[in-house]
A = this chain, B = another copy of it.
Amino acid sequence: MAKDVHPPRGMRDFLPVEKNRRDRVLTSIRETYLGHGFQEIETPALEDLERLTSGQGGDNEKLAFRVMKRGAELEAAIESGNGEDNMADLGLRYDLTVPLTRYYATNHAKLPKVFKALQTGPVWRAERPQKGRYRQFVQCDIDIIGDASMLAEIELLNASLDALTAIGLNDATIRVNHRVLLANLLEQLGVPEAGKGSAMITIDKLDKIAAEGVVAELEDKFDAGVAARAADWLRAIAGNLPIPAELAEIFDAIEARFGAGRLRFDPTLVRGMGYYTGTIFEIEHPESGSSIGGGGRYDGMVGRWLGSDVPAVGISIGFERAVDLVASNDDESLSIVLVLDSAVPSVIGNALKVQQQAIEAGYRVRLEQRPKKLNNLLDSMAEQGFASFATVGEEFVNFGELSIRNIAN
């Protein structure tokens, strides 16, 4: 009897049809970014655990899968009696940003002054498994390191909107804010220094608890003065908001390219990561309840490993959420099943030749020996995405002259 076999909890196998779809979407995104002059890189899946847990990864650091030491080092760790903390030396990356900053520090001498990086690949997080949340999932990041000007933001947003369009998400929009505007706002509301983080958490909830909820929570956390000023502010931003000077250059350039509506200034956008220092972005789509990506400027982070300050800004498309939104239209590639009339050498020889001709004509060509029930085979092949079939016999017939039939009929 079959044993009960599954991939590890929270991780997925991909069947061929789904794998094919994921590959098409990822390839579209990558090719769009490559077209925009981003350069693709790759880092190992593992990083030194010390680096993964040095404070750059925020809450995700706690979710790193830890890899045990090996051999003599493991024995020494066990003998030291320091327990589990000493037993692991590597960890699986939980995002692509910490590895990117490490990569830049390692390789910057061989990279151009302004480094426009594209990185896609799996990341791992030991989260409690739940619907729609996985322990291995794919991220697609672009980052520009070494450009302090707004041209970097403009390039990221321009390329990302093109990438979203390339995969059919023409309705995706990007909300934009700036940490300086948030800081000014908190000053203006009279939030005390120590309460600023907490106040931002409240403001970030506007979508969920509405203006009244935000005002009430601020009154609880601070005082009636803060709450009243917040109420005034929320009323003011409910109207038609002018784009602040800090963001004008970005909006001008993107609207000139795409028209209005793809970017939206949102003074309540906070984003959680503590490392953002300037602009912040969040990608939205009307069919998704949660954001499908985001990013921002993190000028302090790269310098951490390098020892000198380097400006940096990045944006990440959440591949798993994006791919769920992409219409699962059938693969349009040509595909055919060649059914061998028998298994004698001459038929096999003919089939290999016809297959070669069909591949050259752009087909994906699968060989099958004729089973007793041809219909069962064809049904199975249709499920696997094959669109047509033809039979090959002892007499050689060129691919172009074969009788090709649609499987669906």
- List residues of A whose CB falls within 8 A of some B CB: 1-3, 5-8, 11-16, 19-20, 22-23, 34-37, 39-48, 51, 65-68, 70, 74, 78, 83-84, 87-88, 90, 92, 102-103, 105-107, 110-114, 116, 122, 124, 126, 136, 147, 149, 151, 154-155, 158, 162, 249, 252-253, 256-257, 305-308, 337, 340, 343, 345, 348-349, 352-353, 355-356, 359, 363-369, 371, 377, 380-381, 383-384
What are the residues of chain B within 8 A of A256 when measuring CB–CB?
349, 352
A44 touches B136 (CB 8 A): yes
**Identical chains bound together, number:** 2
Identify whether the interface residues of A are mostly helix, strand, loop, or mixed.
mixed
List chain B residues, Cβ under 8 A from A106. Answer: 5-7, 13
Please determine whether A7 and B47 come into contact, CB atoms closer than 8 angstroms.
Answer: yes
Partner of A78, one of B51, B84, B116, B306: B84
For residue A365, which residues in chain B have a CB less than 8 angstroms away from its CB? Answer: 35-37
Which residues of B are found within 8 Å of A70, using beta-carbon distances?
65, 126
Q: Are B68 and A42 in contact, with the CB atoms below 8 A?
A: no
When A68-B87, A367-B37 are in contact, do A45 and B349 touch as well, CB less than 8 Å? no
Point out the residues of chain B lying under 8 angstroms from A352, CB to CB.
Answer: 154, 158, 253, 256-257
Of all A-B residue pairs in the complex, the 9 with the closest CB atoms, nearest first, are A37-B366, A16-B39, A11-B44, A35-B359, A14-B42, A2-B307, A5-B105, A256-B349, A66-B68
- Chain B residues, Cβ within 8 Å of A110: 15
